[in-house]
Chains A and B, each alone.
Chain A
């Protein structure tokens, strides 16, 4: 069967999966879905098993000593060649933009961090921009709205890729929500330090989601989805959170 990507099916693309600690612990289905989609489009997926966390929670809270230790471990865990793909805009942005800040006084590590940053992609970005995927070949069905994660949209500048993929799925009825690019209120440590403000923002996000009448809200970042999903499940709203990777893989539920 010919690939819709226009790429040579004989030539496999080596990809290292950065599965993220959050998906590893809370939604392993997101990681498997990412592997499935990458393999569908000819990637040979490697999973470096020594990877843990990119250090973003420590970096974002100003605890740079700890963040640096985790970033070093990350840089050691991934091979020197090939693409690195992750189902998280936020974690990719951390490596790309956060690491150069962390290592600004260490020229050798900085060079390594920059080189790794050049090779890292969020999943939808990789599929559309690198593999040239136009049809994700997913059998997912349902009415879906999309939440722009802040770090995917403003951090990596990825706006259209996830939308293109969603629109290309025959069974998906894609509907934009208002203020799709507005923060959901997660903000990592922010949601623990200022939970009331965080929740106020989440409530506004959920209102916008519900107004679309969609059955699913998806995003390129699990952090947002766990936050939004936490409010949805507490109140019992009739909408489900699902990671973009799972929609692309054609699964209908978590894990």
Chain B
């Protein structure tokens, strides 16, 4: 996916003035949030499950090589071919080679954020393979030529009216505002693709090391159909998705749907283990698993390693007031919201995404909902500090901070400035708010008053009260 994270401020302004987007965001994020809260309230073991999931993920990070080795061994024992790509370029080469070697010309794909990281569709299209997105949301945005704007609800920014317009234009379907009718149209169109595709492509929510299984958690049947019907199945999964044992899976299955959509369990949980065996009624003859490193090993070595605990539930997006205000596209890459504000700079480099860590009030709502207890606000703070160390801050900000710190060194100097400001403020505003200020306060005063400084700061008042001179 094309990277545009440094344009966050511009993207955000555009999003704020997009009425349709605002309507769609308000409707859906609020619903996700409410459903999640209800699901968590109805599950007394939620906190304990969070603790356990976090501990399992930390164990995975501590022994990632071991668990991956086990996973590869077990998966290959069961007929899968496992590939490891160190970066996006290599991942694209491998994916194209698999399609070519398997003689595939049409692939159906279910939702995968990891595949967006490597621009998977473009790579296959370049190799002459048609890729059809089969997740309803992904299908919609593929028609619109847009990237996903939410981890679990890629077309969350689209209203039903817009979807109907797209279906009219691209599928020749009549206009409707009935969601079941729209779903029916997509299903009819996709059914034919499922039946003729040579390869099904999926992501993977979990990789189970002790069985070599790829686990898919979905609400639409496309994930299962696309992975058992075509002759070849290709799963594209980040290396951090491995969990040690099948026995660990239930903990994550309790957390993921509740955190993502507020469901106690998703409609489908598919545990895909190896190729079709003798006697199996269905299943792929060939199974490829493409493991993506793409920057993850580097993250593992540093202070942000816990970001790799993420199970991509999207709860932090729904809880984030910034995401709710601007939507996913503003973040300019695959991942949005708080997880994107941390993960994008780590995967693509901070100089390519420096505005993202600043796109948060540090309100902490994300950390509160994270099912694997990632300290997202701490990481945002840490990245802001890295930005200073890497010379990515504006000279104006640094000068401002130095000046401010200089004043704060001496209480006497601060008081003198406060008293001058107090006199000026009272003179010009008569005690009311300030309606206009120059940069960097001009943005604030555009629609809000700025407080006028008090005539006499508290320190001075206290000195007078206690008879202290100075």
Interface residues, chain A, with chain B CB atoms under 8 Å away = 19, 21, 23-28, 31-32, 47, 49-53, 55, 57-67, 69-70, 73, 101, 150-151, 154-155, 181-183, 185-202, 204, 226-227, 229-231, 233-234, 255
Cβ of B363 < 8 Å from any Cβ of A? yes
A32-B361 CB under 8 A given contacts A25-B421, A49-B411, A183-B321: no
Q: Within the assembled complex, what's the spacing in Å between the Cα atoms of A78 and B12?
A: 42
Cβ of B171 < 8 Å from any Cβ of A? no
Chain A interface helix/strand/loop/mixed: helix
Q: Within the assembled complex, what's the spacing in Å between the Cα atoms of A127 and B367?
A: 28
Across the interface, do B414 and A52 meet the contact criterion of CB distance under 8 Å? yes
Q: Within the assembled complex, what's the spacing in Å between the Cα atoms of A204 and B324?
A: 11
* Chain B residue with Cβ nearest A31: B458
Across the interface, do A199 and B401 meet the contact criterion of CB distance under 8 Å? no
Min distance, Cβ A153 to any Cβ of chain B, angstroms: 8
Sample 10 A-B pairs with CB under 8 A, ordered by A number.
Answer: A25-B453, A61-B401, A62-B388, A63-B405, A150-B361, A194-B12, A201-B361, A202-B448, A234-B447, A255-B454
Min distance, Cβ B445 to any Cβ of chain A, angstroms: 8
Binary interface encoding of chain B residues 387-430 relative to chain A, with 1 for a CB under 8 A from any of its CBs, else 0: 11000010001100110110111110010001001100000000
With beta carbons under 8 angstroms apart, the residue of A62, A195, A202, A226 that contacts B393 is A62
Interface size on B, residues (CB 8 A): 69
Min distance, Cβ B126 to any Cβ of chain A, angstroms: 37
Across the interface, do A197 and B443 meet the contact criterion of CB distance under 8 Å? no
Cβ of B265 < 8 Å from any Cβ of A? no
CB contacts (< 8 Å) of B13 on chain A: these are 196
Binary interface encoding of chain B residues 451-470 relative to chain A, with 1 for a CB under 8 A from any of its CBs, else 0: 11111111101110010100
Across the interface, do A27 and B454 meet the contact criterion of CB distance under 8 Å? yes
Across the interface, do A195 and B443 meet the contact criterion of CB distance under 8 Å? yes
Min distance, Cβ B403 to any Cβ of chain A, angstroms: 9
Across the interface, do A28 and B408 meet the contact criterion of CB distance under 8 Å? no
Cβ of B123 < 8 Å from any Cβ of A? no
Flag the segment in B127-135, B206-214, B378-386 that touches A.
B378-386
Q: Within the assembled complex, what's the spacing in Å between the Cα atoms of A202 and B453?
A: 22
Across the interface, do A24 and B321 meet the contact criterion of CB distance under 8 Å? no
* Chain A residue with Cβ nearest B364: A154
With beta carbons under 8 angstroms apart, the residue of A58, A151, A194, A200 that contacts B401 is A58
